[in-house]
Amino acid sequence: MSAEPNWDVEDPAMTTRASGRAIEHVGPVLEGQLIDDTLPQPQRRERTESRRRQVAKDFVAAVVRSPLRFLGAVFRGVLAAGRLWRRWVSVRDYREAAEQAEKLADKFADIRALTLFRWKVTGAVLAGVSIGLAVLDLLYGVLVLWVAGGVVAVALAVFGRRKEGSPGRKAVLSGSRTATWTMDPDVLVEAFRGAKLIGKDETLRLVERATRVSGGWAVTVDLPATRKASDVIKNRDALASALAVDEVQLIVDRVRGAGGHAGRVSLWVSDRDPYSTPAVRTPLLDVSRWDAWKPLPFGRDARGRRVDLPMVGTSLLVAAIPRQGKTFAARLAAAGLILDPHVRLYVADFKAGKDWAAAAQVAHRFVAGDEPEHVLALLEWLRELIAEVQGRYRRMRDLDDVVCPESKVTPVISRDPDLGMPITAVFIDEVQVPLDDRSPVKDGDRRLPAGECVGEALTWLARKGPAAGIVLVLATQRPDSQTIPPGLRAVLGSRFALRVMDWRDSNIVLGDQMNTRGFDSSRLLASHKGVGILRPDGDADEVALTVRTDYMPNEDWQTICSRGRDLRWAAGTLSGQAVGEVADRVITSVQKLPESLLAVVEYLAVNDRKFVPTAELVGALGIDARTFAEQMSELGCPPTRHRLPGSDGRPQQVRGYLAAEIRRAVERNGRAADCVSSNLRRGSVQNPTARKSL
């Protein structure tokens, strides 16, 4: 039996609150479904059903295709019978034997006589059959011709059927070999033999026959027992050559899990370069918010299948030579986190361009530049973050086992403002700049180059940070071992290598020996922008896979950043430098705020809350409950019902207002900007870790 908690529920009852305040901690509210896992599970039933459906589909397809297959078999039978007859009539076996014995000249007269005789026999048989058929036709009508034709067709079809060793078995088709193997699995077997992936006497077993899948042919085969699927992946180039396609057109995957084993390979051969079409726009543009705990949409593989990238609990290294899509890839990772208002962002852009500029409105800390002062600012943040991580571990030790079962930040902990442990993502573009900086800095009693201190701090954070909710994303143009310290590389969980200079650089990013396993990003094409090899962290099925990142041009990036700012503004999580940015905007844009709303805003500015009961507001503001409700409704802010713990500790339904709703009304109605923004400045800019009410 197991219970599945629904951690996505955002219920105020889940949040803790210090004693003496209106809301009390009642622990997480679980929504669960009891599952008796001793009974047959729906999944198994689904699998059987889908197999049954597949069998039915195959049957219908076989019936529909049978006339064509019959005609094909008859055609092959005619060709094979024709070939056999020509061999017979030209006495080829006798001629060949004479040739081999070098007695062709002696036997020539005999061969000619025999050939003439066989031609005569052929003519006599044809004449006899024709006369016989004509007589039968006269006696019994045209039906006889049909019956005779049918019998001959069936005989030819049987003669020409596809069967190991049958005549006509080796298809000799013109055109690309890719098209050929889809029609004749023998060609595929030959290609595997040609690429030395199976022996001369070995063969493949077809698991799923070739089908059309997104602009290419897909087929699944089992290798002979002595062969491994990983070797096919490793020697993809040889197989591509044997199939006469470019290696970017051939995708080879191992089939893992329940339906797979170490010798099962799925192949997909694209009709053309799969990256010649425009990249897909990021789906993040169409979502109003994202949950950072969910893997975020990162790109698509050559077959067009979605590739998602988990961010929380890991760190990411993105590397490439210039102009290959490194910043675009890092920004995609950032976009998903920006759309989660509970994520805190640190952005350091050492490229010092405008690529990251829009992030300033959401980032808790933002710096753009490549001077030593910017490196020192980064070092300052990293030290601040190390202290923060140490503090988090200390605080997690004191939390009860329900809230914090392991020494790890959970979704609930990360979203609880009282615990102050939000997911904190650190993005550093062109990380080689701070790592190479030689400015002397004090580290205890020592004076060290700033780059060394940055390297040490990043290594520490990459090692200890993930469990405490820290996500590191580093992008670099120079993945060489002098720039990225080996200790740092080793602890970065996920790697994304776009095109690099040579296999050594590729191995530095993806890991030792990855080129010998078939993953070498220096072999990617320069024209394939945004295409790279992703080596995901942890439990992913694949060792690595080639992915083209979703396309997110600057205007989409800006849209996502301003959406992230609005989300944080509404959730009250805008913090650090971003607050200053937003406050300035508010001051300039806001007009008069109605009295009742202003009073509520002021009350909330000092009483930080997600939900405030009507009774509490009415009492505190000394206004008539009914008039207040009417005024708030007019302002587009109706009350809602919410569950709060009552005096006996049990959850009760209470009428009141959500702070987020009130904030939206403020945005709509305006004026209290000065009050709001000064609160923001006071509460947040000076103390970035403090929680804000608005």
Ligand X SMILES: Nc1ncnc2c1ncn2[C@@H]1O[C@H](COP(=O)(O)OP(=O)(O)OP(=O)(O)O)[C@@H](O)[C@H]1O
Residue 370 CB, shortest distance to ligand X, in Å, is 12
- Judged by CB under 6 A, does residue 551 bind ligand X? yes
How many helical (H) and strand (E) elements, i.e. helices and strands, does the chain have? 22, 21
Contact between 160 and ligand X (CB under 6 A)? Answer: no
Identify which of residues 331 and 535 has a Cβ nearer to ligand X in the complex: 331
Which CB atom, from 32 or from 553, has the smaller least distance to ligand X? 553
Q: Of 7 and 551, which has the nearer Cβ to ligand X?
A: 551
Please check whether residue 395 is in contact with residue 421, taking contact to mean a CB–CB distance below 8 angstroms: yes
**Least distance to ligand X, CB of residue 353, Å:** 7
Asked whether position 315 contacts ligand X by CB under 6 A, the answer is: no
- Residue number, 459 or 494, with CB nearest to ligand X: 494
Over the range 144-168, which residues count as b (16 or more CB within 10 Å of their CB) and which as e?
A: beeeeeeeebeebbebbbeeeebbb
In order of 87, 97, 112, 114, the CA distances from 103 in angstroms are: 19, 9, 14, 16
Q: Is 549 in the site for ligand X (CB under 6 A)?
A: yes
Go through the chain and tell me how many residues it has.
Answer: 694
Region of 81-89, 209-217, 253-261, 544-552 interacting with ligand X (CB under 6 A): 544-552
Site string for ligand X, 493-532 (x = CB under 6 A): ------------------------------------xx--
Stretch that binds ligand X, among 119-127, 162-170, 543-551, 569-577 (CB under 6 A): 543-551
CB within 8 Å of 392: residues ≥ 6 apart: 409, 421, 468, 469
Task: Tell me phi and psi for residue 89, to 5 degrees.
Answer: -70, -30
| 546 is a site residue for ligand X (CB under 6 A) | no
Residues that constitute the known binding site: 320-327
Nearest distance from C-beta of residue 548 to ligand X, angstroms: 6
Annotated binding-site positions for ATP:
320-327
* Region of 47-55, 324-332, 504-512, 603-611 interacting with ligand X (CB under 6 A): 324-332
Output the smallest distance, CB 664 to ligand X, in A.
35
- Closest contact distance (angstroms) between CB of 275 and ligand X is 9
Answer for which of 477, 507, 679, 693 binds ligand X (CB under 6 A) is 477
Taking residue 631's Cβ as centre, other Cβ atoms within 10 Å add up to 18
Shortest distance in whole angstroms from residue 86 CB to ligand X = 57
**Residue of 26, 279, 345, 561 that binds ligand X (CB under 6 A):** 279
Q: Shortest Cβ distance from residue 344 to ligand X (Å)?
A: 24
| Contact by Cβ (8 Å): 594, 623 | no
SS3 content of the chain, % helix, strand, coil (to 5): 50, 15, 35
Say if CB 565 and CB 366 are below 8 A apart: no
Q: Are 461 and 450 in contact (CB under 8 A)?
A: no
SS3 sequence, 614-653? HHHHHHHHCCCHHHHHHHHHHCCCCCEEEEEECCCCCEEE
Q: How far is the CB of 476 from ligand X (least distance, A)?
A: 9
Cβ contact 543:536 at 8 Å: no
Counting residues that bind ligand X (by CB under 6 A) gives 16
Binding to ligand X, residues 657-676 (CB under 6 A):
none
548 contributes a contact to ligand X by CB under 6 A: yes
Among 323, 592, 655, 682, the residue binding ligand X under the rule CB under 6 A is 323
Are 233 and 224 a contacting pair, CB within 8 Å?
A: no
Q: Does 326 bind ligand X (CB under 6 A)?
A: yes
Non-local CB neighbours of 117 within 8 Å, separated by 6+ positions = none
Residue 351 binds ligand X, judged by CB under 6 A: yes
Rounded CA separation 51/57 (Å): 10
- Say whether residue 322 binds ligand X (CB under 6 A): yes
Q: Does 533 bind ligand X (CB under 6 A)?
A: no
**At its nearest, how many Å lie between ligand X and the CB of residue 258?**
33
Angle between helices 143-159 and 104-140 (to 10 degrees): 140
Residue 311 DSSP SS3: coil
The residue within the footprint of ligand X, chosen from 324, 410, 459, 596 (CB under 6 A), is 324
Binding site for ligand X (CB under 6 A): 279, 320, 322-328, 351, 477, 529-530, 548-549, 551
